[in-house]
Structure 1
Amino acid sequence: MEYRVVAYLAVFTGLGLALAPLSFPVGPTRAFPGQHFVNGVAGVVIGPWALAVAFLISLIRNMLGLGTVFAFPGSIPGALVVWLAATALRRFGKAHYAPLFEPLGTLGLGFPAAAYVVAPLLGVGERFITGLIPIFIGWAASTITGSIAAFFVAVALRRLGRL
């Protein structure tokens, strides 16, 4: 692994952990816009390594008691979609738009995984399904806010010639 990638992994993971207290409870989950922000920027800057960043932030937040197990399906799919979108958009010189695709991963892939796989395994399936709409709205607010912030950072990086 290249040293630059290791440095980016450390910086993005550290940034995500520094922002971790800014999460808010939504049913049995915790919504964390900072995770979606980091996913958006990391997916554009370091590509597939953004998945490792999402995993590490989720893992360490859980270990510190700042998150729940729902952090994994709530973050990793978003990073995946941003990386794939950045890869596709880079061909057209538009990779800075990739963070706007983060909600597709979080809400389109991660939310169903959380609702139909993780919640039943944890024994909170009924509680999750009962609050499905409020939880979805909380997750949507979190991911949309974080991805818009990441988009503005990606635009700034593009203008600086770093993308």
Structure 2
Amino acid sequence: MKVRKLTLAGLLIALGVICSAFYIPLGAAKCFPVQHMINVISGVILGPFYGLGVAFCISLLRVLSGTGTLLAFPGSMIGAFLCGLLYMKTQKLHMAYIGEIIGTGIIGGLVAFPMATLIMGKEAALFAYVMPFMISSLGGATISIMVLNVLRKTKVWQEWLTCLSK
């Protein structure tokens, strides 16, 4: 079971790092809708702790490769964890969607403020990152819910759940 989950997590990390070249500049933040899509997919399929780990690894690799900033950490990690937690408790995709948007857009945007001002030395208002993070998470979470809804209607969804539970 752990090997399969780790393998899927590794594939999602690779996808996140490869797609990190695609971003939308919004003010001082770089918004990565693919990151948020992966947050929801990993949170739903693998659970909140694996989702958090996937988000951390993608953020770390993006920072180390120069395609991301330290602001990649708070939004993606909080969003992935909250998304996975809400889905685990409710088994409803719309709750995962809400978890990603609240976790990344609101909580992550607020946590980014002290990171930007204290660690990165940038001047920013308290809510400066909420709107860009919210827009990015809305796009990525919407794409992920569409993908997961399609997968649910096919045998792929059941195969994944069966495979990961062994």
TM-score category, normalised to shorter length: 0.7 to 0.9
The amino acid of 2:151's aligned partner reads: L
Q: Distance in 2 between matches of 1:89 and 1:158?
A: 16
In structure 2, the partner of 1:30 is: 30
Conserved in 1, the CA contact under 8 Å of 2:108 and 2:130? no
Q: Distance in 2 between matches of 1:16 and 1:40?
A: 12
SS of the equivalent of 1:30 reads strand
Q: Which runs of 5+ in 1 are unaligned?
A: none
Conserved in 1, the CA contact under 8 Å of 2:108 and 2:133? no
Q: Distance in 1 between matches of 2:95 and 2:147?
A: 11
- Residues 118-157 of structure 1: pairs in structure 2 closer than 5 A: 118-121=115-118, 122-124=120-122, 126=123, 128-129=124-125, 132=128, 135-157=129-151
Q: Which runs of 5+ in 2 are unaligned?
A: 159-166
Conserved in 2, the CA contact under 8 Å of 1:39 and 1:54? yes
Cα distance, 1:159 vs. partner?
A: 1.4
Conserved in 1, the CA contact under 8 Å of 2:78 and 2:107? yes
The amino acid of 1:11's aligned partner reads: L
The amino acid of 1:118's aligned partner reads: M
- Could you list the structure 1 runs, at least 4 aligned residues long, displaced by more than 4 angstroms after superposition: none
The amino acid of 2:16's aligned partner reads: G
SS of the equivalent of 1:129 reads coil
Conserved in 1, the CA contact under 8 Å of 2:40 and 2:80? yes
- Residues 27-106 of structure 1: pairs in structure 2 closer than 5 A: 27-47=27-47, 48-90=49-91, 94=92, 96-101=93-98, 102-106=100-104
Q: Distance in 2 between matches of 1:99 and 1:155?
A: 12
Conserved in 2, the CA contact under 8 Å of 1:58 and 1:72? yes
Mark the CA change 1:16 to 1:98 in structure 2 (over 3 Å): closer, same or farther.
Answer: farther
Conserved in 2, the CA contact under 8 Å of 1:44 and 1:98? no
Identity %: 31
Conserved in 2, the CA contact under 8 Å of 1:37 and 1:149? yes
Conserved in 2, the CA contact under 8 Å of 1:12 and 1:38? yes
Q: Distance in 1 between matches of 2:40 and 2:127?
A: 27
Conserved in 2, the CA contact under 8 Å of 1:58 and 1:67? yes
Q: Distance in 2 between matches of 1:144 and 1:25?
A: 15
The amino acid of 2:108's aligned partner reads: G
Q: Distance in 1 between matches of 2:20 and 2:106?
A: 23
TM-score, scaled relative to structure 2: 0.85
